[in-house]
Structure 1
Amino acid sequence: MGLDIMKIALADDDVDDRMLFEEAIESIAIKTQLNLFVDGQQLMDHLQKSKLALPEIIFLDLNMPIKNGMQCLQEIRGDQTLRHLCVAIYSTSSSEKDIEETFVQGANIYINKPNSFGALKKAIEKVLKINWQYHTSNLNKGNFLLRI
């Protein structure tokens, strides 16, 4: 059963990254509704308020002020009504430690912020087309880090 419009949230404190992400989403042939947040606290406030219209997938930057991506991930996974949400870590960090830690904390996939618009578009498209039920049941360290 395909949803007509896929609801997506992005929390990222970098204004250029948010704009690029938005442009990439708009150029993909999947109908989406994108909500942008400048930090983790803003995202969490939104999620707490909008229990009815939760996003299907959340793209989460790790390094943000006020509340970082790791704190958001832990809160989401610890909340009965939010824990089922798909969380894609979307970060410039390619540190083993970050990848390992977010995997252990229950993120669904880890994306290194691509350095070109084409690669970004490809990465987002790939993530949006994943069959999450299948992906999550077969999740392992090997398929956690998105390869473009």
Structure 2
Amino acid sequence: MRQCFLIDDDEDDQELFAMALKSVDNHIQLITASNGAEAISLLNSNTDLKPDFIFIDVNMPKMNGVECLKGIMTIDRLKTSTKFMFSTSAGPSVVNECKLIGADDFIVKPGSLSQLKQTLEKAIK
């Protein structure tokens, strides 16, 4: 079973993402973390966790998405995971920094469930 790891501090966004992902492909297991520090801790403690897709919010407490991405890039088993920055903060400097660090793409969070479904269909196929 494929895995998708969502790292986002907003519980409403997590729920919306879960609904959209399930409607796009209900055979993908969703794993969530509420901030970058929690995500890195989970990835370091569970070496069997190798998500196919990782979606990382930029603005989070404890460890922001940019720092989280840097941490993820140091984990060898995640080199082949597709890494998406997934945020409402999409200024050119943040987008460029994330792509330089190793993000595969930067996706601006859509405003509705139907838009999110379309976004996920393109991203995970």
- Which TM bucket (shorter chain)? over 0.9
Higher relative contact order (CA 8 A, sep 6+): 2
**Residue 34 of structure 1 aligns with which residue?**
30
Q: Aligned partners of 1:17 and 1:79: how far apart in 2?
A: 26
**Residue 79 of structure 1 aligns with which residue?**
75
Corresponding residue pairs, total: 125
Q: Computing the radius of gyration over CA atoms, which structure comes out larger, 1 or 2?
A: 1
**Residue 112 of structure 2 aligns with which residue?**
116
* TM-score for the superposition, normalised by structure 1: 0.80
- Deviating beyond 2 angstroms after TM superposition, the runs of 4 or more aligned structure 1 residues are 78-85
Structure with the largest fraction of helix: 2
Residue identity over aligned pairs, in percent, reads 34
Tell me, yes or no, if structure 1 residue 58 matches structure 2 residue 54: yes
Equivalent AA in structure 1 for residue 87 of structure 2: S
Deviations 1:20-55 (A, max 9, x none): 001101111351100111111111111112222311
User: 2:73 touches 2:102 (CA, 8 Å); kept in 1?
Assistant: yes
* TM-score for the superposition, normalised by structure 2: 0.93
Q: Aligned partners of 2:49 and 2:91: how far apart in 1?
A: 33
**Residue 93 of structure 2 aligns with which residue?**
97
Unaligned segments of structure 1, at least 5 residues:
130-148
Alignment map for 1:3-14 (pairs within 5 Å): 5-14=1-10
